[in-house]
């Protein structure tokens, strides 16, 4: 221990000992769940500043929770986006389709048709409603749980399944882990498995759009756990320094695999409040309220288009399923959490709202659910004609060496030749 001049070497020996704080979630397996500590503000009670306001005006909204749909299933307050019934039915349909897709792909993984899958159950609004509030050519830099964006933008389900099965129809040539889609035509950036790396990239894209005098904006999504990565802080810094037309979406689904949000700093401050230190507009939104997600995204998009700068949106939601097909959430969290989550389920809430305003009914919902399941089933059958993972119908093996560089350099040419020789020995009848 460092000593002071003329010290005894025992400096501080009579002071209380220090203690390390290691965050612990409120509930573990077997625990009774009580979410009464969560401050859920009243729907419609949050002020809606002008889109071009000073970032400081959003300060109360980084700790509050922007909500539109109340317990009465009606839309309330200044954040009500006043969507027509057709638009809301489309939103409901896209969310239902996303859920049906997840259900079937999850089963497909269990049946051994692919190696891996990730559901977004309970989080559908954070991608579907957000995508609907943006222009279809705004560029998105998603993380791995935003399949709802592709579905909303009309990307063919069969293409998604081809990618998940890594079959010969997979546009990505079987190189990426299942669910790591890419579609330039749908302004959907290639997904990385490295967390938060897409966030400074989204900011760079938005900066480029601004440099060019374009009108397209960018948006990016990451989990609350990933906000711990340095890349996220670089993204916030660059976004504010250059006033980039970008929306940074933090999907706070409470769990980063088995680590609860406290390990990303969520015990001490909301994730939306990260915006304050950067001088960025911030909104904390009920992520299970599709109308609130739509309204917040539309606000942020309008702000970006008006050159008023970036917005950080925290979508306060809950990951109803495991992290992925490789995860067992019953090993680390109370089984009751999912059912006790006080903000409900986004699909049910929108459905109940449409019913409450006389624009929907249970029968139509049942018909919609059936239609979604049938659509996914048909797409799955089509995709299976192109093969499933591990059953040989993959891209030709020489594609392994393509796209490392624009042109094949000599060392990859030599290695491709070796692969051809090996193939003849390993699979003589192929």
Partner 1 sequence: MASRVIEDDIPFGLEDAPARNLNMIEAINDALDIMLSHDPSVIIMGEDVGYFGGVFRCTAGLQEKYGKTRVFDTPINECGIIGAAVGMGAYGLRPVPEIQFADYIYPGLDQLISEAARLRYRSAGEFIAPMTVRSPFGGGIFGGQTHSQSPEALFTHVAGLKTVIPSTPHDAKGLLIASIEDDDPVIFFEPKRIYNGPFNGYYDKPVEPWKKHPDSKVPEGYYSIPLGKARTVREGDAITILAYGTMVHVVDAVAREKGVDAEILDLRTLVPLDIEAIEASVEKTGRCLIVHEATRTSGFGAELSALVTERCFYHLEAPVERVTGFDTPYPHSLEWAYFPGPVRIGEAIDKILEA
323 is catalytic: yes
Is residue 148 within 8 Å of 128, Cβ to Cβ? yes
Q: Considering only residues 175, 305, 338, 364, which one is a binding residue for partner 1 as defined by CB under 8 A?
A: 175
Q: Which of 332, 338, 364, 423 is catalytic?
A: 332
429 counts as catalytic: no
Structure token digits, residue 229: 């990565």
- Span near partner 1 by CB under 8 A; candidates 149-157, 171-179, 323-331, 347-355: 171-179
Tell me which of 95, 202, 276, 298 binds partner 1, using CB under 8 A: 202
Q: Among 36-44, 173-181, 293-301, 315-323, which window interacts with partner 1 (CB under 8 A)?
A: 173-181
Six-digit token string for 176 = 């990426």
Span interacting with partner 1, options 46-54, 118-126, 207-215, 268-276, rule CB under 8 A: 207-215
Among 11, 40, 241, 306, binds partner 1 (CB under 8 A): 241
Q: Does 362 bind partner 1 (CB under 8 A)?
A: no
Residue 285 dihedral angles phi and psi, to the nearest 5°: -125, 145
Contact 326, 127 (CB under 8 A): no
Distance from C-alpha of 160 to C-alpha of 142, rounded to nearest angstrom: 15
Tell me: does residue 63 bind partner 1 (CB under 8 A). no
Dihedrals phi, psi of 385, to nearest 5 degrees: -65, -25
Of 203, 219, 264, 293, the residue at the interface with partner 1 (CB under 8 A) is 203
CA angle 154, 158, 163 (to 5 degrees): 105
Smallest distance, Å, CB 430 to partner 1? 22
421 binds partner 1 (CB under 8 A): no
How far, in Å, CA of 257 to CA of 327, rounded?
A: 7
Of 5-13, 208-216, 247-255, 379-387: span binding partner 1 (CB under 8 A): 208-216
Cβ neighbours of 38 (radius 10 Å): 12
Query: Exposed, middle or buried: residue 262 (CB in 10 Å: 0-12, 13-18, 19+)?
Result: middle
Place of tokens 């998604």: 160
Residue pair 337/357 in contact (Cβ under 8 Å)? The answer is no
Residues marked as catalytic: 319, 323, 332
**What does the binding site for partner 1 look like in residue numbers (CB under 8 A)?**
139, 141, 171-173, 175-176, 180, 182-184, 189-190, 192, 194, 197, 199-209, 211-212, 218, 230-231, 234-235, 237-238, 241, 402-406, 409-411
């Amino acid at each position: 221990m460092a000593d002071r001049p003329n010290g005894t070497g025992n400096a501080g020996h009579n002071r209380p000992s220090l203690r390390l704080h290691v965050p612990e979630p409120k509930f573990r397996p077997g625990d009774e769940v009580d979410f009464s500590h969560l401050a859920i503000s009243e729907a419609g009670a949050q002020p809606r500043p002008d889109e071009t306001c000073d970032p400081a005006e959003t300060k109360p909204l980084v700790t509050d929770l922007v909500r539109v749909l109340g317990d009465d299933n009606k839309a309330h307050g200044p954040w009500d986006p006043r969507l027509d019934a057709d638009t809301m039915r489309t939103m409901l349909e896209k969310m239902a389709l996303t859920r049906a897709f997840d259900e079937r792909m999850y089963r497909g993984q269990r049946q051994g048709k692919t190696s891996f899958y990730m559901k977004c159950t309970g989080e559908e609004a954070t991608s579907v409603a957000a995508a609907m509030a943006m222009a279809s050519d705004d560029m998105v830099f998603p993380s791995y749980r935003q399949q709802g964006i592709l579905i909303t933008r009309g990307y063919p389900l069969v293409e998604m399944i081809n990618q998940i099965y890594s079959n010969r129809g997979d546009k990505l040539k079987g190189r990426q882990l299942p669910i790591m889609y890419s579609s330039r035509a749908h302004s959907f950036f290639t997904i990385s498995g490295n967390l938060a790396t897409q966030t400074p990239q989204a900011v760079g894209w938005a900066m480029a759009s601004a440099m060019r005098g374009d009108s397209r904006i960018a948006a990016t999504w990451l989990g609350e756990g990933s906000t711990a990565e340095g890349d996220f802080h670089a993204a916030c810094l660059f976004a504010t320094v250059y006033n980039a037309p970008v929306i940074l979406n933090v999907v706070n689904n409470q769990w980063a695999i088995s680590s609860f949000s406290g390990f990303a700093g969520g015990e001490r401050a909301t994730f939306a409040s990260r915006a304050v230190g950067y001088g960025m507009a911030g909104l904390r939104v009920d992520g299970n309220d599709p109308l609130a997600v739509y309204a917040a995204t539309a606000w942020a998009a309008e702000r970006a288009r008006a050159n008023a700068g970036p917005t950080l949106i925290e979508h306060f939601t809950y990951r109803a399923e495991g992290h992925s097909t490789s995860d067992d959430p019953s090993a680390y969290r109370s089984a009751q959490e999912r059912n006790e989550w006080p903000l409900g389920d986004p699909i049910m809430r929108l459905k109940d709202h449409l019913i409450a305003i006389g624009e929907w009914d249970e029968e139509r919902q049942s018909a919609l659910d059936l239609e979604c399941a049938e659509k996914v089933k048909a797409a799955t059958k089509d995709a299976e004609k192109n093969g499933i993972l591990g059953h040989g119908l993959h891209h030709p093996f020489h594609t392994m060496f393509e796209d490392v560089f624009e042109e094949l350099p000599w060392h990859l040419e030599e290695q491709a030749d070796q692969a051809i020789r090996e193939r003849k020995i390993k699979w003589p009848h192929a």
